[in-house]
Every structure is written in C-alpha cells, then in structure tokens.
C-alpha cells in the first residue's frame, strides 16, 4: 500500500491547458515554500508544434512550463513526474487515463471529468489495481497534501488555502466524495484542530477509481496522521465497507464521520442528490442507515452536520490531552504578489515579459547556452557544431553530429558570385549600402528555387518514407499529384558522369558515421529513376543536406513529432542560411575593398581603367 501519494517533491503532468489551475498549483507551492514547482509539463493536443511553452508566475518571478502535444513525449521528457492531472473531456478522459496508467513513471492519476461511462470507469479502476496505482476520481476536484502538493483547483483560491492553514501539514486525514464540500471541510477542520495533513475528494460517480476506505486505510497506516475525518453521503455502500473495516480492526484511529443526505428519507424515492452515486437503491444506502451503522461500531458520528465541527474539536482535544498530537511547525506563509489585473486597480503591478527565451540566459555570472556555461564552452574548446547543437537543439550533440553540421556549413558557404544570393549581395554592396543591408538583400533571395530546397527536400522524402512509398510511386506522386519538380533533385551542370563532389562527400560521411540512413537510401533509389530519364536529375547538394539531416535526427533518437517540429520550424534551411551568410559576407567585404580602392585612385587612372 502506498501510504503517501504526494510529498514536497511531487511533480505532475497536467493534461489539458488549464491556466488558472496551473497558476493556483504554483501559488500553493510558493506559499508552502517548496523548492521546486509541482507542475512539470502541460499536455495540449491542439499545440501547433511538438513542444511549446507557457509562462507562469513563481511568486514574483516568471518561469516557463513546457507544453507538449502528446502525453508520451511529456512522460519521456519528465520521468520524475509521477502524477497526471487529467482535465481532458469525458470523451477523451478514458484513453488518456489508460495511457497514463500504462506508463511506468505515472503512479497517481486524478480524473477531473464528469460523465465518464461506468464501464470505462471500471476498466480504469481494474488497470490501476493491477498495476498498484491510484486513481482519484472521476468527477473529482482532486486532493491535497498540506504543505506539499495540491491537485489543480483543490482548496480554491490561495486566500482560502491560507485561511485553512493548508500551507503546512496538520494531524487530520480527510476524505470525501464531494469536492465542493471538501473545500468547506478543509476550513472547518482547520478551525477545530491543527488542520489537514491530507485531504482527498474521490468524486461523486457511482464507480470511483478509489474508495473512501482506500484512503482511510492509507491514513491508518500513516503515523503522521493522528485522527481521521470522513464525509459520506446517501447512495452506494462504500460507507458500509468502512463499518466493516472498523469491526475487523483495520481502522483503529479515531474517525469522525457523517453521511449527508439524511433529508432523503422524507423526500420522494428515487431522488438523486447532485452526484451520480448520490441515490439510495436500498435501505442500507440511505444516509440515516449508514450513520446509525457507523455509530454502532464506535465511529464518532455527530447528531447532525451542524455538530460535525464540535465532534472534530472534541476528538482532537482528547488526543492532544493524551499527548498524541505532535507540535505543529507553524510559520507565516510568504505573501503572494497580486496578478496584474488586480494589482493595476490598486496601483501595484507585476508585468509579464514580452519575449521568452529558452536557449540562453545571461542573468548570472556566466552566460548559459541551454544550461551550459559559456566559460566551459571556451575553456574546453568546444566546436561550432557543439555550440549550434546547444542553441538550435538545446542539447549536447555527439561528435559525429557536430562534425556533420560543420561540414554542411563549409559546403554551403559559397557557390560562387553568380548564384542569386551572392549576386544580390554584391550589387547592393557596390551600390554603397551597409553590411546588414547588403547581407539581407542576398538572404532574402534564398528560397525553394535558389538554394533553399533543403527543407522541402526533407519534407517530401520524410512523407514518402513514413508512408512506406516505393520510389517509383513517389516520383509519380510528385509529378501528377503535387505537380512540382522533386525538391533536391536536379543540377544545371553536374550529372551522373560529372558528379557533384559535395554530394559524394556527404554520402561518404553518412555511410561511415550513421548507424541507419533510410532517407538517404530512399533518395538514392529515387535518383536511379530520375537519372534514367535525364542524366542531370541527380541528388543535388541542397537535397542531400536536408535528407541526410533527417537521418541524423533519427540517429540522435528524436521522436517523429520532434523531427517534424524541426522541419516545420525551417531549421534545415537555417543551416543553408548560416553557411551562405559566411560566403555572402566575404563577397560584401571584397566589393567594399574594391570600391574603397577605386575611390583612392587619381581621376586619370579611374578614367583609364574604365576605358579599358
């Protein structure tokens, strides 16, 4: 049995973009003086790319939380997160919960959605039991471990958290079906004892993922919990299971309990009280019968809900007099800054930043590139390929990947003054414009027809390989369906008989250093078909760079979503722009030197050179 579901280091993945719930969790963390945020990541299926970021406040500072499109990627990236808070709709709550339960790292799942079919709830419960995991919900607001971790909107606003003394642990274990009532009970318990240690709302559906008894047995086994409070209700037999547990000695700690819904006995039969499970189908499912059965086995049952707080206080004071209550480490919780909308009305403002940067940070003593200090990069003489890996991929690349990137930069540095980018840069420089204007005019010409085919070549070859297309079918598809020449195929000068040495160098490198190269292999089969039609329809250097880069990403272990994100972000064309900019600047410097030398000549020499 897992005695404690949460602690001060617990981290959660949140399925569904719930801005307020996320911020409330982080605000709770802050007033509890947690060292790290409890939200590790957010799943947003509608996210455009594989990964995005959400800005949040950590006290008065801004931090970012990664957003993923798929749960599997978030689980892979955050193995230390063992809780999933599932805000997905009742239509998708079942598959997302099942996926989480089948993940090794997820131990607890809170299912917020209402209206999940009972059969699906039973299947989720069965899978959780078989794997030794815990489901809170469905139809729950969640739960809380005071001073440690809270689920979503549990306990309401931060003001209510402070009033209910939930920023530090008390001695009471509380469990309820109702989320709304649990918020009220947190406050009531704080006013009649030293407060809640852990509180769980199991949800009001007929088939909950965990029962009232499940959590009471955890509290029974937890030496930090000295007494228990439970709020049951009309409908179901879960409270009778508690009666039996008290009878057979599984529950020995003082338990104060009340089942709401006693008014049902004077109302028409079959009436449901809010929750799906709050409807008595037999006499034993009525609130009155349950309260009577609980009292008979020694549970502390008040005469009415109005007396609930008094019974809690009596029980707590008795334990305190017996010396069974440990002193509470009380402290003044940190003051939480007001949000902008509220603070602006009072003239107290905290303003979020306009831009988020996740690749570098120069706020400390040493500038950081993706978490690596610039001093280390310089002192260890790290390569340009290594630095590009940090700034473009946010990771330290292996040596062969660094070498490939540097080779690409060298191969694309200059293709001569006649290509469009260099030509435009030269003309602009000769016109006397500055470096940046000259460089920009050249870069702006780069596109699918002039040097920018790297991304498009990778895009279409990846689609073909992913679909398992045959090379001949791919050639026909590009001609008859897409209606364009295959990006990365074709050269004005080079041919089968006069191969491009740059392509040869790329292929030699890939075959030597890459463990697998399915995209290059496929492209070479396509080349056989195209060169059979015309001998200059070869795989050109731009296409080869992009296609081999796909194989590099595969060898680095990137997921399909991450690779697609690289393509969509035009990172591949970025390699070409980086290399070509080096060559363009060389042309610009050359033209500026020539122009300066021209102005230094005497007029008669200028006229003479012009005439010749």
Q: Answer yes or no: are the C-beta atoms of 51 and 66 closer than 8 Å.
A: yes
Distance CA 309, CA 60 (A): 37
Q: What would the two tokens of residue 300 be? A: 């502390």
415 tagged catalytic: no
Distance CA 542, CA 111 (A): 49
Q: Which has the closest alpha carbon to 103: 67, 128, 68?
A: 128
Q: Answer yes or no: are the C-beta atoms of 178 and 201 closer than 8 Å.
A: yes
Torsion angle of C-alpha atoms 92, 96, 98, 99, degrees rounded to 10: 150
**Gap between the terminal Cα atoms of the chain:** 95
Distance CA 397, CA 387 (A): 9
Distance CA 356, CA 323 (A): 53
Q: Answer yes or no: are the C-beta atoms of 425 and 595 closer than 8 Å.
A: no
Tell me which residue has tokens 């080779």: 407
Catalytic residue among 275, 415, 517, 587: 275
In sequence order, what are the beta bridge partners of 58? 61
3-state SS, residue 553: helix
In sequence order, what are the beta bridge partners of 78? none
Q: At what angle do helices 541-555 and 399-412 cross, to 10 degrees?
A: 170
In sequence order, what are the beta bridge partners of 145? 149, 198
Locate all alpha helices (DSSP H) within 392-494, ordered by sequence: 399-412, 420-430, 435-443, 453-467, 471-477
Q: Answer yes or no: are the C-beta atoms of 141 and 152 closer than 8 Å.
A: yes
- Strand order of the β-sheet with 149-150 is 149-150, 142-145, 196-201, 172-176, 227-233, 255-260
Distance CA 577, CA 586 (A): 14
Residue 43 neighbours by CB under 8 Å, 6+ apart? 13, 14, 15, 16, 67, 68, 69, 70, 71, 74
Alpha carbon of 190 to those of 163, 176, 195: distances in Å? 8, 16, 4
Residue 235 neighbours by CB under 8 Å, 6+ apart? 206, 261, 272, 273, 275, 277, 278, 279, 280, 281, 285
Q: Answer yes or no: are the C-beta atoms of 575 and 408 closer than 8 Å.
A: yes
Known catalytic residues?
275
């Amino acid at each position: 049995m897992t005695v404690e579901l949460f602690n001060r280091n617990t981290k959660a993945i949140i399925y569904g973009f719930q801005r307020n719930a996320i911020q409330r969790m982080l605000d709770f963390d802050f007033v509890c003086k947690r060292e790290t945020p409890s939200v590790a990541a957010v799943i947003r299926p509608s996210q455009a790319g594989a990964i995005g970021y959400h800005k949040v406040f950590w006290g008065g500072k801004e931090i970012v939380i990664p957003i993923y499109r798929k749960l599997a990627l978030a689980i892979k990236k955050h193995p230390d997160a063992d809780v999933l808070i599932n805000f997905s709709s009742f239509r998708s709550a079942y598959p997302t919960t099942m996926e989480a339960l089948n993940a090794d790292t997820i131990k607890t799942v809170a299912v917020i959605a209402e209206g999940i079919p009972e059969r699906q709830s039973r299947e989720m419960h069965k899978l959780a039991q078989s794997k030794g995991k815990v489901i809170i919900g469905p139809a729950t607001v969640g739960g809380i471990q005071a001073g440690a971790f809270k689920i979503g909107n549990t306990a309401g606003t931060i003001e209510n958290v402070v009033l209910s003394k939930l920023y530090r642990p008390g001695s009471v274990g509380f469990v309820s079906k109702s989320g709304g009532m649990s918020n009220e009970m947190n406050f009531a318990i704080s006013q009649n004892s030293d407060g809640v240690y852990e509180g769980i709302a199991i949800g009001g559906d007929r088939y909950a993922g965990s029962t009232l008894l499940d959590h009471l047995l955890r509290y029974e086994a937890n030496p930090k919990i000295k007494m228990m409070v439970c709020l049951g209700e009309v409908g179901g037999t879960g409270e009778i299971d508690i009666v039996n547990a008290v009878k057979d000695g599984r529950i020995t700690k003082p338990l104060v309990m009340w089942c709401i819904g006693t008014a049902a006995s004077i109302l028409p039969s079959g009436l449901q009280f809010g929750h799906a499970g709050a409807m008595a189908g037999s006499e034993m499912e009525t609130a009155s019968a349950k309260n009577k059965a609980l009292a008979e086995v020694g549970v502390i049952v008040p005469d009415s809900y109005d007396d609930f707080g008094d019974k809690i206080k009596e029980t707590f004071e008795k334990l305190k007099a017996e010396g069974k209550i440990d002193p509470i480490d009380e402290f003044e919780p940190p003051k939480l800054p007001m949000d902008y909308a509220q603070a602006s009305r009072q003239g107290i403002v905290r303003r979020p930043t306009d831009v988020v940067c996740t690749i570098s940070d120069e706020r400390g003593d040493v500038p950081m590139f993706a978490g690596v200090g610039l001093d280390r990069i310089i002192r260890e003489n790290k390569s340009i390929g290594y630095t590009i890996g940090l700034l473009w991929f946010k990771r330290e690349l292996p040596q062969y990947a660094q070498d490939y990137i540097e080779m690409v930069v060298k191969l694309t540095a200059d293709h001569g003054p006649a290509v469009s980018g260099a030509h435009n840069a030269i003309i602009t420089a000769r016109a006397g414009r500055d470096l940046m204007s000259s460089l920009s005019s050249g870069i702006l010409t780069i596109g699918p027809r002039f040097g920018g085919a790297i991304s498009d070549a990778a895009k279409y070859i990846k689609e073909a390989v992913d679909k398992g297309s045959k090379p001949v079918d791919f050639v026909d598809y590009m001609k008859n369906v897409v209606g364009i020449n295959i990006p990365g195929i074709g050269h004005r000068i080079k041919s089968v008989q006069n191969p491009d040495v740059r392509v040869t160098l790329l292929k030699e490198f890939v075959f030597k250093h890459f463990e697998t190269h399915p995209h290059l292999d496929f492209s070479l089969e396509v080349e056989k078909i195209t060169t059979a039609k015309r001998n200059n329809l070869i795989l050109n250097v731009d296409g080869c760079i992009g296609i081999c880069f796909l194989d590099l990403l595969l060898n680095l272990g990137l997921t399909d979503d991450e690779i697609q994100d690289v393509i969509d972000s035009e990172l591949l064309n970025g390699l070409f722009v980086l290399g070509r900019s080096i060559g363009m600047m060389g042309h610009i410097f050359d033209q500026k030197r020539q122009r300066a030398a021209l102005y230094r000549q005497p007029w008669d020499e200028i006229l003479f050179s012009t005439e010749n």
